[in-house]
Chains A and B, each alone.
Chain A
Amino acid sequence: MHIAEGFLPPAHAVAWGAAAAPFVIHGARSLIREVREHPESTLLLGASGAFTFVLSALKLPSVTGSCSHPTGTGLGAILFRPPVMAVLGTITLLFQSLLLAHGGLTTLGANVFSMAVVGPWAGYAVYRLLRRYDVPLMAAVFCGAFLADLSTYCVTTVQLALAFPDPGSGFLGALGKFGSIFAVTQIPLAVSEGLLTVLVMRLLVQSSKGELTRLGVLVAGAASARAGERKAVAR
């Protein structure tokens, strides 16, 4: 969920902007380096940004019967890595606030921190950890996407609780209040996003092995070795 325009007090808006800035600057530096070394990457990165933007516009069926949209942070982080996602996520959030009136400019820092920094890093960390212990690709993808989505909402909950502490029980009460509201809708949505990401990744493994190898999601040798094994078993 994007925090709407003007929702956060000025001090909070500035503080979250400052918290997100180092990650975005780090991502921007690596992106600029990549573009200077390989100018053709501009188009690929632009296409990745457009894919992230479009992914966040897909309607996701939720268990309550209503619809929501995926954050796309988990899939984006697995495909493009968290530093690049920090920049692509910032661009996407900027477009969403100006083209769709979704999110905001004053809350851009807070939204970038939750959706383009914490979500991708949390999802990617879990994905990498599981892959290191030879957990199957799809299980790792599900866990990565699920946790990327959930951590995004956890951070949004903290951001809102800090901005609007409960009059009776302070920060912790507000955390429980916002958290319980989010839990009803967001845990099923995080599961939904995990499932959707697995479906997308399964199709990508079948149809776009080359691109996935180029992005480092699949290892070239391993992919061809598995194909060889399958052929041998078939024989």
Chain B
Amino acid sequence: MLPIDAAAHGSRWRRRHPLDKAVLGLGLTVLAISLPPWPGAALVTATALAVLLGPAGVPARRLWRAYRVPLGFCVTGALTLLVQVGGPGGLLALADDGPLRAGELLLRTSAASLGVLLFAFTTPMSDLLPRLVRAGVPAPLVDVALVTYRMSFLLLDSVRRISTAQAARLGHTTRAATWRSLGGLGATAFVRSFDRAARLQAGLAGRGYDGTLRVLVPEARVSVRFTTASLALLGALTALTLVLERPLS
């Protein structure tokens, strides 16, 4: 299982309805990209961190491990805004407002990432996907996504084992051997995925498979109190940003 999904399965908010967590987490993400970065995104970052480490109970180390991935992309992306091409300073020069634009982008992306991480760290995919049918997503599409999700872990596990076996057979010692091993890995993943699909189909056919994958979904109700509190928090953040925007900028 992947670390974020594993953490979601053990989350304090696991039993909450995904809609509750979507309103809060994805609401914070929407605010992060639509409010002015200063002070809006900074407030969203602080709020998301407080909720993640506080009520949601996400361990700080796990959060950092997941957060550093998008943060790395944000930093490298923001660096490009520091320079400008052409103009009076020559072919390549430091942009006058580069640090400001880069800072704003960094604030916006880090705040938006934390909002999505709040949702991802508290909502397992297995809780979310079956409920998408009720949200209007066609059932065949959800079924394909469910099979993809469940089979991904099996395949990732197979790929890890094959890679270890290849390394034990000196399959990664030279560049040529690495390429050969990598090609074998990709081909084996393909063969195994099709083989698993065929075996799964045979097993389901024996149980009277009619084209619908029925899975048990943990019971959960939308909490009016939680959703109202989330909307109030989002409203307060918007109001605070608009009030603070002029004095702070």
Contact = CB atoms under 8 A, between A and B. Distances in A.
Contacts of B49: none
A142 B155 CA distance: 25
A42 B120 CA distance: 26
A103 to B, nearest CB: 9
Interface in B1-31: 2, 4-5, 26, 29-30
Interface string A91-116: 11011011111101110000000000
Contact of B148 (A5, A9, A53): A53
Contacts of B145: 46, 49, 91, 94
B136 interface: no
A52 to B, nearest CB: 8
Interface in A1-16: 1-2, 4-10, 13
B144 A178 contact: no
A46 B155 CA distance: 12
Contacts, number: 247
Contacts of B29: 5-6, 105-106
Contact of B66 (A31, A36, A40, A101): A101
B85 A166 contact: yes
Interface stretch (A119-127, A147-155, A168-176, A222-230): A168-176
Is chain A's binding surface mostly helix, strand, loop or mixed? Answer: helix
Interface string B104-116: 0100111111001
A190 B81 CA distance: 25
B87 A6 contact: no
B193 interface: yes
Given A35-B140, A50-B151, A204 B85 contact: no
A32 interface: yes
Nearest to B151: A50
Interface size of B as a range: 35 or more
B73 interface: yes
Contacts of B141: 28, 31-32, 87
Given A61-B175, A98-B4, A208-B190, A6 B111 contact: yes
Given A46-B147, A61-B178, A104-B112, 14 more contacts: A4-B70, A4-B113, A7-B73, A8-B33, A36-B140, A40-B205, A44-B194, A46-B150, A53-B155, A91-B148, A166-B95, A168-B89, A177-B85, A178-B80
Pairs A-B, 10 closest by C-beta atoms? A46-B147, A6-B112, A199-B183, A39-B211, A168-B87, A49-B148, A203-B187, A47-B197, A50-B151, A173-B85
Interface of B: 2, 4-5, 26, 29-30, 32-34, 66-67, 69-70, 73-74, 77, 80-81, 83-87, 89, 93, 95-98, 101, 105, 108-113, 116-117, 119-120, 125, 138, 140-141, 143-152, 154-156, 159, 175, 178-180, 182-187, 189-191, 193-194, 196-198, 200-201, 204-205, 209-211, 213
